[in-house]
Structure 1
Amino acid sequence: MNIMQVEVVSNEEHIFSGEASFVVVPTLTGELGIYPRHEPIMSLVRPGALRLTVPGGPEELLVAVSGGLLEVQPDKLTVLADVAVRSEEMDQARAEEAKKAAEARISQAQDDDSLAKAQAALAAAIAQLKTLDYLRSQKNK
């Protein structure tokens, strides 16, 4: 079976470490599908749903990422995410509230530091909402 080692880490915690047979990563130029033995690349990650197909798993494992860096080697894929949350830890109402709060903090930011923190919080909330939308679309198929 063709598998690759996958590591997904955020600034706060180790999100996933294991094997996958296919990974879809949201990048600045669009979604990138990666199979084992892919050519080495590096890319910036945009907010969205990181989707992993795990051998023996019944369905995709989803992780919301708010941005970061992707590195692909033939036998290993690493995502260094600014913020990452597993789909089972997400809540629609909480993500929508976090988005509204971040938007309010952006409009009230007094300096570059508070603006950057508010923008990071907004990206994290948008990533969770995109992931939850993807989950809903898959359930309706």
Structure 2
Amino acid sequence: MADKTFRLDVVSPEEQLYSGDATFIIAQTTEGELGILPSHAPMFGQLAPGGSVVVTEADGTKLALAVQGGFLSVSGTEVVVLADSAQFSKDIDIAAERAALESAEEGSPEHLRARSRIRAVEAVS
């Protein structure tokens, strides 16, 4: 592993969604938006419901995941996202999520899920 990357694993109870080298990630936590670069100080954070994780891979490619809660663990050479549930932005129907956001009560699980999915798609658009 090069000094300018770190290992990233994104897992949910159902599956391992991503495993690879990254140069930067942005995650929404309960304390606010957090950016992680290589050699970041060790930390543990709670992911915000209705949030997203945006990844810049070692080759410069960006990808995003809609994340519904969970935790983020940073060790300096490795970051692990333990999501309650997550979905890649490329698999999201943005029109359906905008409609769901409009019809859902603000703060409801449906509203948070739709907001998360919209954020993920917009992060890489």
Given residue 96 of structure 2, which amino acid in structure 1 is its aligned partner? R
Please point out which of 128, 131, 135 is paired with 2:124. Answer: 135
Structure 1 gaps, min length 5? 107-118, 137-141
Deviation at 1:16, TM superposition (A): 0.5
Residue 7 of structure 2 corresponds to 5
CA distance, structure 2, for counterparts of residue 91 and residue 26 of structure 1: 21
Higher share in helix: 1
Residue 30 of structure 1 corresponds to 32
Q: Please, what TM-score do these two structures have when normalized by structure 2? A: 0.83
Given residue 91 of structure 1, which amino acid in structure 2 is its aligned partner? D
Residue 60 of structure 1 corresponds to 62
Residue 78 of structure 1 corresponds to 80
CA distance, structure 2, for counterparts of residue 11 and residue 94 of structure 1: 25
CA-to-aligned-CA distance 1:47-105 (integer Å, 9 cap, x gap): 22211111124x3111111221111101110111111111111111232344467x37x
* Aligned residues: CA RMSD: 2.2
Larger radius of gyration: 1
Residue 94 of structure 1 corresponds to 96
Higher share in strand: 2
Given residue 60 of structure 1, which amino acid in structure 2 is its aligned partner? K
The SS at the match of 1:80 is strand
CA-to-aligned-CA distance 1:107-141 (integer Å, 9 cap, x gap): xxxxxxxxxxxx444432221012223334xxxxx
Q: Please, what TM-score do these two structures have when normalized by structure 1? A: 0.74
Alignment of 1:11-26 (within 5 A): 11-26=13-28
Residue identity (%) = 31
1:49 aligns with 2:69: no
CA distance, structure 2, for counterparts of residue 19 and residue 124 of structure 1: 27
